[in-house]
Amino acid sequence: MGYRKVAIVGAGITKFVRRAQETAKELAWQATKMALDSCELTLDDVDCVTLGTAPDAFDGVHMKGEYLADGAGAFRKPYMRHYVGGGTGIFSPIHGWFHVASGMADICLVVTEEKMSSCYPHPQGAFITIFDHTTEQPLKPTLIWIFALEMNRYMSTYGISKRDIALVSVKNKKNALDHPSAQLGGEITVDDVLNSEVLAWPVNRLDVSPASDGAAAIVLASERVARRLTDKPVWIDGVGFSLDTAYWATRDLCYPTYVENAARMAYDMAGITEPHKEIHVAEPYDPFDYKELHHMEGLMLCPKGEAARMTADGVTQRDGNLPTCPSGGALGVGNPIAATGLMKIIEIFLQLRGDAGKRQVPGKPRCGLAQAWGDLMQVGTVVVMRI
């Protein structure tokens, strides 16, 4: 097809913290400046900027795209903001990819930021508004309900236990100990997860990623420019995104069809026919521990209902056959919504370059994948990358 090849050539990230002193703009600048410095570019080299950030209601800043523009390096440049809830961070590089693949730009900055700590009494108060205002909000829902309902449906359908699922949290929080941005890295056990406070059964406190402040940024370049900038460009070989119905209670919650659709789109573009063999390292979205399993199945990295067994067998550990969330994921590194997805992209970028330090998975991976999920649990976004 008529796209140009697009590479990631630089990356930047802040620490993920529960409450940052920096303003949203300052966080965005810290990550963006680091991304430019990492590939020795200046703002003058940048043709256009895209920005991913979740609802204005988190930061309490309307027109958040415009508010963040100077920190994202966007003044006096073509600039676009995009937003698909939790799926935003993986949609961001896709959005940037369009700019470069189309030939419109040679260098595109992709910036993501979230500052959830501004929101009181709790960011959950903003989440409530994603439920239908007339038929659902009067029941006073919390976002955790839909996760709990989905997790129960998933467990009931495939006969999976909480113990099986808790292994994901244990793995990701441990992996996060090696990530310099991590908010919640730690050595915990399955029993710690099971004995942590029950929020909304089957969801316990340690099944859940935290609310976070943070920012992440990458630099995308066309093939000609990328080869000049670095001898280790990481190519975006496939992108996919798909949305399911907002009548979320009317579809089967045990399987994320929208993730499968997004994955098929990305795999087709990347020429991948056997994802479980061809993908060497993956960063599925893990805002809750069962979501990593759910998404591995949607990504067709394993048969339906099998992700828990794969996890128990150690296949998804860093030294396993198919490492998942070697970064530590949203559960361990933290979950500043839009920035989380881009953190995952950055992890695959570093893993494929062999630059992941203590987090490096063995065996020189050559093909990786990052995925996110969001909106009212119905959007899937997928990026396949190769070195």
Binding to another protein, residues 194-213 (CB under 8 A): 197-203, 213
Instruction: Name the amino acid, one letter, at 342.
Output: L
Token pair of 88 as six digits: 């935003």
Q: Is position 243 an interface residue for another protein (rule: CB under 8 A)?
A: no
**Which residue, among 324, 268, 322, has the nearest Cα to 295 in the 3D structure?**
324
The strands making up 281-283's β-sheet, listed across from edge to edge, are 79-82, 48-52, 107-115, 213-222, 6-13, 234-243, 379-386, 367-374, 281-283
Among 8, 10, 275, 331, interactor with another protein by CB under 8 A: 10
Exactly one of 47, 106, 113, 150 binds another protein (CB under 8 A); which one?
Answer: 150
Are 10 and 35 in contact by the 8 Å Cβ rule? The answer is yes
* Three-class SS state of 172: helix
Contact between 355 and another protein by CB under 8 A: the answer reads yes
Number of residues that bind another protein (CB under 8 A): 91
Does residue 63 interact with another protein by CB under 8 A?
Answer: no
Query: Measured from the CB of residue 244, what is the shortest distance to another protein in angstroms?
Result: 11
Among 80, 152, 194, 243, binds another protein (CB under 8 A): 152
167-196 residues in contact with another protein (CB under 8 A) are: 179-181
Which amino acid, 315? V
CA 3/CA 98 separation, integer angstroms? 9
Q: How far is the CB of 152 from another protein (least distance, A)?
A: 5
Within positions 356 to 385, which residues make up the interface with another protein, using CB under 8 A? 356-357
Site string for another protein, 15-34 (x = CB under 8 A): xxxxxxxxx-xxx-xxxxxx
User: Is residue 14 near another protein by the rule CB under 8 A?
Assistant: yes
How far apart, in Å, are the Cα atoms of 8 and each of 90, 212, 243, 275? 13, 25, 26, 22
Is 193 or 253 the residue whose CB approaches another protein more closely? 253
- Terminal Cα distance for the chain, rounded: 20
CB burial readout 61-79, b (16+ within 10 A) else e: beebbebbbebbbbeebeb
| Position among 66, 70, 268, 313 found at the interface with another protein (CB under 8 A) | 70
Nearer to another protein, 200 or 266 (CB): 200
350 binds another protein (CB under 8 A): yes
- Report the residue number, 246 or 312, with the smaller CB distance to another protein: 246
Tokens coding 377: 């649990």
Encoded one letter per residue, x for contact with another protein by CB under 8 A and - for no contact, window 110-149 reads --------xxxxx-xxx-xx-xxxxxxxxxxxx-xx--xx
